[in-house]
Amino acid sequence: MPFTKNFIPLIKNGQNLPPLPSISDIIHLYKLSAIRQLAQNFILDMNLTRKIVKQAGNLKGSHVCEIGPGPGGITRAILENNINELAVIEKDKRFLPSLQILADSVTSETKMSIYHADILKFQMDSIFPQNVATSWSETDSNINIIGNLPFNISLPLLLRWLREMDARNDLFALGRVKMTLTFQKEIAERMIALPGSNQRSRLSVITQSLAHVDHKFTFLGKACVPQPQVDVGVVNIHPKEKPTYEMSFDIFHKVVTSIFNFRQKFCKRGVENLFPLPVKDEMTHEIFHKLPHIHPSTPIFKLENEHFNDIAHAYLEIVQRIPGLVDYDYRQPKSQQHLWAQNMF
């Protein structure tokens, strides 16, 4: 055998499968130097990959989708759980041969499929059969997404999934799919941040409005090869049956994002961002008049998730009266804001 380092046995049904080359052997054997543009930071320590996978809970019999398997450390830890089916999605074709070794080594009760694809463009709804779907009224789905995500796409990916969760599209068409994912530690902290916290951001409000979020643990960046500049948070995301807001994702997202442009300022300043200059004062006044329980001088980072729902509701009432307002974007230059408002009213 050409491998030089330790062989790692894959444990299946409590038994060891034929020994496989260690993750570091795989990296040496296939000359898998990390590509910075793909945010490749590999975890070689199987104790850590097992700890990450354990956060997903009991995986026995479940259908798992792994994002960015790379050399396969997390993949192996997933396969040790007597799962029914694993689909892995990897953009870098250099990893395909070593992933195929894993697919060939699993027992006949487990199916493993390898997709060579960019997760940002990949539709996940067809990877598992329709008969594994569960209703959204059921708390637990039989499907999990797991991944040590590439940091450079973790935020756009999370926002895309939150949007899909809202629409019950893509993999979320199959039920309340649970996710166990890694993020830069600061992003993990923002996702769980409560009102008043220094980390409170638009991400906290949007994520918590759609899902139960739990920051399970943090590990040091030096556990990865090569070492990223940041530490890593492992987060569980479990979709709520219904979002806590009562309008479209786009409206809620717009309201939360516009307000959080000034997170340290009073919320009146954030709400003003929703309206163009000539009507800013009048419409901001209308919003707070409708919501006497929200004081205009409350700092934005102290607003509760429900407050954002209330503000978005009041905003929606105005937008229904003046539909063109919904296209207003606070980043427009002031000169254009006057012109824009003239055309609208």
Q: If DSSP codes are grouped into helix, strand and coil, which group holds residue 283?
A: helix
In this chain, which stretch among 67-75, 105-113, 131-139, 239-247 interacts with ligand SAM, using CB under 6 A?
67-75
Contact characters 5-44, ligand SAM, x per CB under 6 A: ---------------------------------xxxxxx-
Q: How many of the other CB atoms lie within 10 Å of CB of 309?
A: 20
Instruction: Give the number of residues in contact with ligand SAM, rule: CB under 6 A.
Output: 21
State how far the alpha carbon of 275 is from the alpha carbons of 100, 265, 317, 318, 330, in Å.
Answer: 54, 17, 13, 10, 7
Q: At what angle do helices 202-210 and 305-321 cross, to 10 degrees?
A: 90
Chain centroid to CA 191: 9
Q: At what angle do helices 151-167 and 202-210 cross, to 10 degrees?
A: 40
Least CB distance to ligand SAM at residue 258 (A): 29
Asked if residue 276 binds ligand SAM (CB under 6 A), the reply is: no
Q: Which residues pair with 66 in a beta bridge?
A: 88, 146
Q: If DSSP codes are grouped into helix, strand and coil, which group holds residue 109?
A: coil
Asked if residue 270 binds ligand SAM (CB under 6 A), the reply is: no
Nearer to ligand SAM, 40 or 180 (CB): 40
Asked if residue 315 binds ligand SAM (CB under 6 A), the reply is: no
Nearer to ligand SAM, 39 or 322 (CB): 39
Least CB distance to ligand SAM at residue 2 (A): 21
Is the CB of residue 221 less than 8 Å from the CB of residue 228?
Answer: yes
φ, ψ (nearest 5 deg) of residue 275: -130, 145
Q: Given candidates 56, 74, 223, 300, which one binds ligand SAM under the rule CB under 6 A?
A: 74
Asked if residue 329 binds ligand SAM (CB under 6 A), the reply is: no
Nearer to ligand SAM, 85 or 90 (CB): 90
In this chain, which stretch among 114-122, 129-137, 247-255, 287-295 interacts with ligand SAM, using CB under 6 A?
114-122
Least CB distance to ligand SAM at residue 274 (A): 33
Please choose, from the candidates 13, 174, 194, the residue with its C-alpha nearest in 3D space to the C-alpha of residue 107. Answer: 13
Residues that bind ligand SAM (CB under 6 A): 38-43, 68-70, 73-74, 89-92, 118-120, 148, 150, 153
